[in-house]
Amino acid sequence: MLPTVHPNPNFLSPFPLPEIKDIRLDLWSQRLLKSLSVNQTRGQLMHCPYYRPFSSLDLGAPSPPFFSTAKHYFEWRSIYTNHPLAIVTFIVHPAYHSNIPIIHILNHPIYHCESCVVSWWDFPTALLGQLIAWLQGVSELYNHEESFWLFTHTLADFTTDFWKPVYPYDHKSPNLRPAPSPHPEPPFNHYTSGQVSRRSTLTLKPEQKWGILKIRKVQDKSLES
């Protein structure tokens, strides 16, 4: 949270200064929601943006914090067969709490084509070098006949558009990014969490303990047989 004290120590005010809101989480959510508003599907490219709200369930009821997270799925399809040749997926979620994006290279289980999944709590500020090298390798598999250079440029343009500044804030400024990243764990709930802890520490009656002991003996006999 930004300081609420006036920088001039000699400044005196009869009224308390208003608390300045930290806008970094709002900008983080705004960028994600803005990226979901446009579908980039055209030509060989198929783009599926997915909205993924994030919250915690406490005894079946949603509880804060509430975040707007996103998933962007990109397919690059063949000019000749319209079959997917390469798939790139960006998953933005607070649970991916790491200093750098996590990249998974795998074979797609349905289309049996090359696939890359980039997971992080924020969208990368630039197209990752490892992702570019992977796309170049996939292009070589098809003898550079499927315009993978255009796929690379499309992903780079999408990344640039994601980080375009919106007046009056400059989203590229590192000072306007959440630091640390949004934490996935909800705050402690004194009402429901207490009920859960009390339930977990209930003492069993003697007849309940005897029933559990009989069940265990039956299980042990079945294992021995």
pLDDT in tens, 82-140: 999 999 999 998 888 888 999 999 999 899 999 999 999 999 989 999 999 999 999 99
| CA gap 203, 213 in Å, rounded | 15
Residue 89 within any structural domain of the chain? yes
Q: What angle do CA 170, 174, 179 make, to 5 degrees?
A: 125
Residue 210's pLDDT is what? 54
Q: How confident is the model at residue 1 (pLDDT cuts 50, 70, 90)?
A: very low
Greater confidence, 36 or 191? 36
Domain around 81: 24-176
54-58, 160-164, 199-203, 205-209: which range is least confident on average? 199-203
Greater confidence, 5 or 20? 20
Residue 88 within any structural domain of the chain? yes
pTM over 0.75: no
State the total domains in the chain.
Answer: 1
Does the pLDDT value for residue 141 go beyond 60? yes
Does the pLDDT value for residue 59 go beyond 90? no
Residue 198 within any structural domain of the chain? no
Residue 3 within any structural domain of the chain? no
Residue 205 within any structural domain of the chain? no
Does the pLDDT value for residue 189 go beyond 70? no
Residue 217 within any structural domain of the chain? no
Does the pLDDT value for residue 217 go beyond 60? no
Q: How confident is the model at residue 6 (pLDDT cuts 50, 70, 90)?
A: very low
Residue 1 within any structural domain of the chain? no
Does the pLDDT value for residue 68 go beyond 70? yes
| CA gap 18, 155 in Å, rounded | 42
Q: How confident is the model at residue 18 (pLDDT cuts 50, 70, 90)?
A: low
Residue 13 within any structural domain of the chain? no
